[in-house]
Structure 1
Amino acid sequence: MLDHPTLNHLRALKLDGMAEAFAELQRQDDAAELSHAEWLGLLIDREAANRSTKRYQSRMRAAKLRHGGAAIEDVNYRAPRQLDRDLFRQLAHGDWIGKRQNLIITGPCGVGKTWLACALGQKACRDGRTVLYHRLSRLFADLELAHGDGRFPRLFRQIIRTDLLILDDWGPERLTTSQRRDLMEIVEDRYQNGSIIITSQLPVDAWHDVIGEPTFADAILDRIVHNAHRLPLDGPSLRKNET
């Protein structure tokens, strides 16, 4: 019997999916009826599925989504928040990410803006895309520190190269000079190169005042808004219904 040596060789070659499938087939009485080609096909299928799962898990770890369990299949369309079902289902297909378009989700506190953004991020990870979540206030603080300790180039590359960047909770505090500069660099380098989801309690019309300096505001908003889908929400906080 070559059971154990074969398993050891598969694991040594890091073919863990094939090793698991091989062990399972050895325990099945009807496996002897399979041809060599059928055996090999089952082993290869399991290895491919195993590697796909590991890549997905790696993308999810890198994404650092605030709601890692959020999924588009679990969206509550009956919640009183005026969610456009047709638009959200269209967004769930992810074509807008491939086209390097943006998404703006606005609405009052508690209507699920962040959860919906994370659900779209999780679906993007499932589709093989890279995703990165940042709460905007914490990102600005991290960038400020990175300017001083030499981490800025590496952090900036990470932000720029991801397929989908989620910037959560825009506003309401007015941006500082360094924050305007950093945001301008981010949206400039990502423009037509990657997609951004922005969530905010503020309507888009109020963003100009948050940025502060008119020249920066015009340039930043032009790159974010002009090719963006908009998902405005409204209604009472859903947290009040949580038990």
Structure 2
Amino acid sequence: MLRLPRLLEALGLARSDGRYARVLKSLARVQLLVLDDWGLTPLTPEQRRDLLEIVDDRHGRAATIFTSQLPVPDWHEWIADPTLGDAILDRLVHNARRIGLRGESMRRRAARRATVVDANQES
């Protein structure tokens, strides 16, 4: 699992030191790529193009999971480029399965349990 903001930052560094094509090729080969925190931070124009390259290389060839707290209807606006947004989302939506989760965050639940355990240990 990779956090999307860190991956896009790493791709920018790879571009500057000549490893860009090699990194994209390695991402294309992964059977299941999980990209966490989709929509967390704004995209630069370069990152939009990187995202299209990743999605295009994997489209129809390998599984990709995107996790996001950003509602799906807001994804196009988040990409902030109508042409690239259409291209990226077209590849994502084609043959996609959407799983919506409801309820409390696992981290919040775990933190609350830890607080209860700590309180019990102090008694």
Please report the TM-score for the alignment, with normalisation by the length of structure 2: 0.85
5+ residue gaps, structure 2, are 115-123
User: What is the number of residues matched between the two proteins?
Assistant: 111
2:51 to 169, 178, 183: 183
Distance 1:235 1:196 in 2: 24
Aligned-partner SS, 2:99 = strand
- Is 1:166 matched up with 2:12? no
Residue number in structure 1 paired with 2:72: 204
Deviations 1:105-162 (A, max 9, x none): xxxxxxxxxxxxxxxxxxxxxxxxxxxx211000010000000011112211110111
Q: Which amino acid aligns with 1:229?
A: R
Distance 1:223 1:136 in 2: 17
Runs of 4 or more off by more than 6 Å in structure 1?
A: none
Deviations 1:8-58 (A, max 9, x none): xxxxxxxxxxxxxxxxxxxxxxxxxxxxxxxxxxxxxxxxxxxxxxxxxxx
5+ residue gaps, structure 1, are 1-132
- Measured after TM superposition, the shift of residue 167 of structure 1 is 0.6
- Measured after TM superposition, the shift of residue 240 of structure 1 is 3.1
- The structure-2 alpha-carbon separation of the partners of 1:165 and 1:238, relative to structure 1 and needing over 3 Å to count, comes to closer
- The structure-2 alpha-carbon separation of the partners of 1:172 and 1:239, relative to structure 1 and needing over 3 Å to count, comes to closer
- The structure-2 alpha-carbon separation of the partners of 1:138 and 1:192, relative to structure 1 and needing over 3 Å to count, comes to same
- The structure-2 alpha-carbon separation of the partners of 1:236 and 1:181, relative to structure 1 and needing over 3 Å to count, comes to same
1:149 to 13, 17, 20: 17
Q: Which amino acid aligns with 2:6?
A: R
- Is 1:240 matched up with 2:116? no
- Is 1:135 matched up with 2:3? yes
Distance 1:241 1:181 in 2: 37
Contact 2:35 2:65 in 1 (8 A): yes
Q: How does 1:116-127 map to 2 (within 5 A)?
A: none
Distance 2:4 2:46 in 1: 14
- Measured after TM superposition, the shift of residue 172 of structure 1 is 3.1
Distance 2:94 2:18 in 1: 34
Contact 2:5 2:41 in 1 (8 A): no
- Measured after TM superposition, the shift of residue 228 of structure 1 is 0.8
Q: Which amino acid aligns with 1:224?
A: L
RMSD of aligned residue pairs (Cα, Å): 1.1
Distance 1:134 1:227 in 2: 22
- The structure that has the greater radius of gyration is 1
